[in-house]
Amino acid sequence: MLRVAVAGASGYMGAELLRLLSVHPEVQLTAVTSERLAGERLDRVFPHLRGLSGLTMSELDPSRLADQADVVFLALPHMESQRAVPILRGQGRKVIDLSADYRLRDAALYGTWYKADHIDAVGLAEAVYGLPELHRKAIATASLVANPGCYPMGAVLATAPLIKSGLGRGEGIVVDGKSGVTGAGAQGRKVEPMYLYTEANENVQAYGIGTHRHTPEIEQELSALAGQPVVVGFTPHLLPMNRGLFTTASVPLTKSAGSGDLLALYREFYAGEPFVRVVPEGERPTTRAVVGSNFCDVTVVSDPRTGRAVCVSALDNLGKGGSANGIQNLNIMMGWDERTGLEAPPVYP
């Protein structure tokens, strides 16, 4: 059995990792950390995991984790993973990081978007962006995988076939993302007012307009697909639901194409992908159809009046947008079937 540890296990991403890893047939969960809840039993922190683990939360000690596990998932606050990764990798451990610390290729972007300098140049240069549908071969041989952010996952999967084929222009792309409140993390005792029940319920709010940290991540991946710089207009929104992320992207076309032709392109691009479902023409993705899973449902509709394609995706921000995708990356790194531990269908209702 592969020994696996989760650092930052008390947040929503950490909790979802624990739920999935506890029933993964190839792994043994050997350590969990939380600075906030060190000393607490896992099943007391998360009653839904009662009977699945008797582990106790401990403070983060990368050297000790390296002794306890072969692979370490990091679900830490942004700019904290870079302090632990060099120690873990120095002791030969594989790392899957769910924070933003290793997602951006250009270190200077961290100063711009995260207001902090990156301190692990070697790790940043060697990290592989963990989007299996685009980087599967590199993930398979990686020792450090940077799991994508939820908004970039939705935006990139929604638009990748158009951008890669050249049918979608690299300029004038507008991305609208909507996420459930778990996208903000558990936040401990410090909760921003917009995430309070009284503010989020029966309400829709835009935030981070023109400044959201996932913007350079989306542009990085689309630029690589296009083979030239791509700039997007991205606006995230908060929806009054626990889980789920819905993306609508408007992409200018380089030539006219009908919806049927665009869907054929998407089906070809995602043929054989176990977790991307191109929905039939006339149907639309919904968050309800993917919650609790690693699926991303996508579709595309031609708008000939404007010369654009409207690309839509739906995923679970904690699933394909986070922890479940991290386990898909683990499966690829270990040479297992990608679906291992992720076979359960979405939750309904």
Buried b (16+ CB within 10 A) or exposed e, 95-120: bbbbbbbbbbeeeebbeebbeeebeb
Cβ-proximal residues to 305 (8 Å cutoff; 6+ apart), any chain: none
Cβ(145)–Cβ(152) under 8 Å?
A: no
Residue 150 among the catalytic residues: yes
Q: Is 191 helix (H, G, I), strand (E, B) or coil?
A: coil
Q: Which of 37, 96, 104, 150 is catalytic?
A: 150
Distance between CA 209 and CA 63 in Å, rounded?
A: 40
Q: Are strands 71-74 and 205-206 parallel, antiparallel or unpaired?
A: unpaired
CA 256 → CA 155, 167, 232, 300, distances in Å?
22, 9, 21, 14
Of the candidates 291, 202, 203, 188, the one whose C-alpha atom is nearest the C-alpha of residue 242 is: 291
Cβ(241)–Cβ(287) under 8 Å?
A: yes
Distance between CA 246 and CA 180 in Å, rounded?
A: 9
Q: Among all chains, which residue has been given the structure tokens 């950490």?
A: 14
Q: Which residues are catalytic?
A: 150
